Each structure stands twice: as C-alpha cells, then as structure tokens.
Amino acid sequence: MRKTLGLLFLSISLILTLIACTESDEVKYEAKASDFEGEGFERNSQRIVVIDDELVIYAAYNNPESKNKTSIDKLLESDDAVPGEFYEKRYKNVEIKTQQDMYFITADGLSLTFKKTGERTVTDEEGMEYYTGKYPEE
C-alpha cells in the first residue's frame, strides 16, 4: 500500500512538473515586425512607428523629473531634449528582428527592445506599456 501511494505521488508530481514546464515555454503573444507598421504603438504623447525604411518617433518630452520614464524619454534625454517641446525623430535603415514575444529594433544609431504583452500592447525596457489602435489581422 505504501509503495502504491509513493508511486501515485511520484506520478502526480511528474505530471504537474511537465504541465508547468510546458506552460512556461508557451508564448502567449507572438511578435511580428509588421506590428510596428501602419499605426505603430503609442503611450500618452509618444508614438513609435515604422514608415517605409524609417523608424519614426513622435514625442513630447514632458517631465524630466518623472520616475516613470519610457525608453523614448531616455532617448530624448540623451539628445538633450527640452521639457515641453515636441520632437519628431527619424532613424533610417530600420530593422526589426523578432524572437517569440520580443522585438529587437535597430536603426542608424538606435537600439530598442520591446516585449509583446497583449494583442495590442507592447512593453519597453523600462516596463512602460504602449498601445495600438490596430486590431490583429485574423
């Protein structure tokens, strides 16, 4: 009886371990380079979009004292942005590589990473979410 209970416990543990491993490897939202085309993604007064071979960032640089900075805020800071001003930055030779739910964006002098966290949501390296009004094609 004790041996049977031990085998039963071992079997259940093995099944639960296999289920947990399978779920952790599963990618819920697959990243596609085309996600950044068209409308791109937006957060408050910041938008990132691919137009032809350019990565275009439209952004207002609002609060340099904020603790919740986006990757775009940090990019503007590195260019000595002036608070309250609106910027349009264009980067040529954009390339977006994807791996599962991750986007790796490079362009002339720029490197950004995003993670697809919802059907219409990406999160930048700072943990800030951006949204798109574009619904996924089915």
Q: What is the pLDDT of residues 63-72, one digit of tens each?
A: 767 788 899 9
CB 96 within 8 A of CB 102: no
For residue 54, being part of any structural domain is answered with: yes
For residue 17, being part of any structural domain is answered with: no
For residue 16, being part of any structural domain is answered with: no
For residue 96, being part of any structural domain is answered with: yes
**What is the model's pTM?**
0.77
Rounded Cα distance, 78 and 71, in Å: 11
Of the candidates 101, 133, 96, the one whose C-alpha atom is nearest the C-alpha of residue 117 is 101
- Whether residue 11 is predicted with pLDDT greater than 80 in this model: the reply is no
For the chain, percent of residues with pLDDT exceeding 90: 55
For residue 7, being part of any structural domain is answered with: no
Q: How many domains does the chain have?
A: 1
**What is the span of the domain harbouring residue 80?**
33-131
Say which residues have a Cβ less than 8 Å from residue 34's Cβ, sequence separation at least 6: none
